[in-house]
Amino acid sequence: MGTSRGTSIAGLGMTELGRVYGRSPRRLAADAVRLAAADAGLALGDLDGLLVSHGMGGSPGIELAGTLGLRDLRLLSQVNAFGATAGAMVSYAASAVLSGTATTVACVFADAPLKPKQSAGSAYNRDAREWYGFGGMTAALGLRSVNSYYALAAQRHMARYGTTSEQLGAIAVATREWASRNPLAQMRDPITLADHQNSRWVSEPLHLLDCCLVSNGAIAVIVTSDDRARDLARPPVHLWGWGQGHPGHRKERGSEFGLTTGAASSGATAMKMAGITPSDVDVCELYDCYTYTVLVSLEDYGFCAKGEGGAFAASGALGPGGSLPTNTGGGQLSAYYMWGMTPLSEAVIQARGDGGERQAPSSDVILVSGNGGILDHHSTLIVSPHRKGA
């Protein structure tokens, strides 16, 4: 067998996720890297690269290398593209392996925004008696939560294309149906469309069941060459393609805010590299901070026409038994919110065939998305249990 120029994910490490208290984000990150290395059958000393990312708390950073006792690293950096970071980290790790910069790179995300006895929603909310400057005025007047910014985006899509709350609800219901089959999911009780419609408004047009969870925990993956991955403990999850898209929509006349996202360009880049089209994709693991994010990503990736994401979701395509199994672990809406590591971790599980009751009928080509800011940043990965072109 000759050598190839491909890269793979060889290890996956996941700490307990959800209301997990008593461990700092740095400690959680260290635990996830250890778990990922063990999963791959590697010793920590086999790692020669580490890429680190964090949530809103600002930790961990590159000091994680010291925490883990890693020595003589050839690649060490903090990466931040908000919710697009996981896909970006994996692509940088793969590029480093292909260039010879490093051979075996751990990529980790950790966050612990939840505190004991605190509601999940309040973990990200802003409140104050005094506000400063023009930006402070915007917050003072009521725009204090990311929920409201995504609500503005979703409402624009609804007004322009006739997208409905019930269509968003179809995404919430399908995602929960997947979660009910995932022992790792935080929310496993099935929901109906009526449950979605009756859940309280967070910021119209978004109901509570349109919004993701908040979770503590950490997830890491190990990226290495196909040739090395082949000799490790678990079947390689091959990286076929990657891309990013940062549309830079200006807040001014003519802006496409809320209508199109960076999924369009990042998806095109990743699919071209992978040599596939949307019709080749068996499973989607999409960044679902909100149901609406799934809907607009499906359109921008080309799984349906622009403006038809609502009808596509309502057709039943996304749930178990559907034509495009999407967020098969329950996503961020129902399973766990580890930013871009939520869709990536489930993609690895599906590619390995480890999905148990939720294993998709076919998982030869899996698309993974990341979305950051208010639809400002996007990343895409195409992964497969098979070598590209094999």
Partner 1 sequence: MEIGVLRRDGRTDPFFDGTASDRLVIKRCEACDRWFAPDAAGCPECGEEDLGWAQASGAATLVTWTVLPKDPPAFLALVELAEGPWLHARLDGAARADLREGLPLGVAFEHPDEGESYILFRPWTE
Residue 362 to residue 372: CA distance in whole angstroms: 29
- Burial readout 225-255 (b: 16 or more C-beta within 10 A, e: otherwise): bbbbbeebebebbbbbbbbbbbbebeeeeee
Q: How far is the CB of 266 from partner 1 (least distance, A)?
A: 22
With a CB cutoff of 8 Å and minimum separation 6, the contacts of 274 are 240, 241, 365, 382, 388
Q: How far is the CB of 150 from partner 1 (least distance, A)?
A: 9
DSSP per position, 63-99: THHHHHT--S-SEEEE--BTBTHHHHHHHHHHHHHHH
Query: Which member of 150, 161, 292, 337 is catalytic?
Result: 337
**Quick one: which H or E segment has residue 108?**
strand 104-111
Residue 308's closest CA among 163, 153, 152?
A: 163
Of residues 67 and 199, the one with the C-beta less far from partner 1: 199
Of residues 120 and 374, the one with the C-beta less far from partner 1: 374
Of residues 24 and 199, the one with the C-beta less far from partner 1: 199
Residue 261 to residue 77: CA distance in whole angstroms: 27
Binding region for partner 1 (CB under 8 A): 128-138, 140-143, 148, 151-153, 155-156, 159-160, 200-206, 250-253, 255, 257-258
Q: How far is the CB of 156 from partner 1 (least distance, A)?
A: 4
Q: How far is the CB of 162 from partner 1 (least distance, A)?
A: 12
Residue 220 to residue 100: CA distance in whole angstroms: 21
Respond yes or no: is residue 337 known to be catalytic.
yes
Q: How far is the CB of 205 from partner 1 (least distance, A)?
A: 7
Of residues 6 and 205, the one with the C-beta less far from partner 1: 205
Respond yes or no: is residue 290 known to be catalytic.
no
Q: What is the DSSP letter of 18?
A: B
Of residues 52 and 375, the one with the C-beta less far from partner 1: 375
Residue 237's closest CA among 40, 2, 1, 30?
A: 40
Residue 93 to residue 381: CA distance in whole angstroms: 13
Query: Which member of 150, 161, 287, 336 is catalytic?
Result: 287
Q: How far is the CB of 325 from partner 1 (least distance, A)?
A: 31
Is residue 39 within 8 A of residue 234, CB to CB? The reply is yes
Of residues 2 and 142, the one with the C-beta less far from partner 1: 142
Q: Report the catalytic residues.
A: 287, 337
